[in-house]
Amino acid sequence: MKLVLAVLADFASVTQDGKLNILGIFHELNPPVLPFPFPQMFLVASFEAEPAEYGKRHSMRVVLRDKNDDNAEMLSLEGEVQTPKPARPEAVGYVNQAIGLSGVTFEHAGDYVFSILVNGEEKATVPLRVNEVGNDTSGGPDV
């Protein structure tokens, strides 16, 4: 599977017919205090599948790492996705994922990264910068 999109957002969903809805893409947080339990965010990923992959299951793993602490693993989620077969033979098969995360606590300001792995292979990294308290220079979400 080929990754075509990976972002953090305030909200995301996948409809029954596979459409991906994304609201409020961001790259930085401006917390009111630290440590800060972020109420809700979504890690969104969209993959294209080759015809040989249609109907196959793939293991998916998401890891959140603290770049300020020797890439210490803060969070790890694992699951399985199945590549759908498109209705039309010439159509591309897509796998859309919207992973809701609630209450992830950021202990300090600095750089964090989400790694998205499929079948053990890293497909993307999504960076996240947590700014110092009172340092809103980014236009990122004020929480």
Report CA Rg, the chain.
16
Q: What is the mean pLDDT of residues 6-31?
A: 95
- Give the pairing of strands 93-101 and 41-49: antiparallel
Among 57, 52, 54, residue whose Cα is nearest residue 80: 57
C-alpha closest to that of 126 among 136, 135, 117: 117
For 20-77, what is each residue's pLDDT tens digit? 999 999 999 999 999 999 999 999 999 998 888 888 999 999 999 999 888 899 999 9
pTM for the full predicted model: 0.87
**pLDDT for residue 85:** 80
- Weakest mean pLDDT among 41-55, 86-100, 107-121, 125-139: 125-139
Q: Which residue did the predictor score with more confidence, 86 or 62? A: 62
DSSP annotation of 73: E
- pLDDT at position 139 over 60: no
Architecture of domain 2-130: Sandwich (2.60)
